[in-house]
Amino acid sequence: MRVLRIILLGCVSAAATHTTTAWTAARQTPAPQPEGYLSWSEKQAEAVITAMIIKGRVLGTRRGVLNTDAPQKYDVRAIWLTPEVIRASTRLIQLAERLSDQETLALVKEAEAVGVLVVLIEIDPDEGSGVIPINWDAFLQAHGAPPIAAVRGSENRRLQELRVLHNVVPRNYKYDRFWMVFPIETKAGKPIFSDTDREAELTVRIRGRETSVRWAIPDSIRQRMASLALSTPK
């Protein structure tokens, strides 16, 4: 049996043409400050990563005589690769491989160079053909914003070659992995998150059905977005 993984629990609302599942993250324990990650314990680093894992489920289509291979559901797991998560993953590598602080800092710099808004999405279709359609989509936006404010993610398979990102969580081979990078501005040229937005919402859409999950927007993301905006020529 295969599954699609994001990480959150919630409720399902069904309509005649599609089904949407909305998941809300559990209350999170404040993470250690990222500036002190070189002194984090293994337990602290693992807790930082776990806090950003959210699970959801996309309900599949009804099976019929002509549609016996379509999965009944897709289990989803999403991990927002925030600066804290990147540092936690790097710290675990440092502890395991006895790296120097300089070597560890280099790994962080390499991982953060790929983009500000990066989400690892794992998908596992239940039963059926076990095939994930190639035209599935992932959208990111501020929670409560209109759909037009969402930005579409693009897959970057080269990210799996970076140790810090590849090793952020142990690989479960029942799930297919997708490294999704999202722009920091909407189509209208405005920042995806405003100063008053409190939560980010990720939506995964497969075969006309969706699941949505939410995270609190960390200050570290706002800081990186502001820094990138200042350094990018208009």
Dump pLDDT digits (tens) for 29-51: 455 566 699 999 999 999 999 99
Residues 6 or more apart whose Cβ sits within 8 Å of residue 165: 81, 86, 89, 111, 114, 118, 120, 159, 179
Q: Which residue has the tokens 């919630």?
A: 10
pLDDT bin (cut points 50, 70, 90) of residue 8 is very low
Contact in structure between 198 and 143 (CB atoms under 8 Å): yes
On the question of pLDDT at 1 being above 50, the answer is no
On the question of pLDDT at 226 being above 70, the answer is yes
Q: Residue type at 216?
A: A
86 vs 9, higher pLDDT: 86
* Average pLDDT of the segment spanning 75-89: 96
* Average pLDDT of the segment spanning 39-64: 86
pLDDT bin (cut points 50, 70, 90) of residue 12 is very low
169 vs 63, higher pLDDT: 169
pLDDT bin (cut points 50, 70, 90) of residue 69 is low
The Cα 6–Cα 106 span in angstroms is: 29
Three-class secondary structure of residue 184 per DSSP:
coil
Q: Which of 19-28, 60-69, 118-127, 165-174 shows the lowest per-residue confidence on average (mean pLDDT)? A: 19-28
**Share above pLDDT 70 across residues of the chain, in percent, rounded to a whole number:** 76
Looking at residue 6, what is its pLDDT? 44
Contact in structure between 123 and 4 (CB atoms under 8 Å): yes
Looking at residue 5, what is its pLDDT? 45
On the question of pLDDT at 63 being above 80, the answer is no
Residue spans per domain, the chain: 9-231
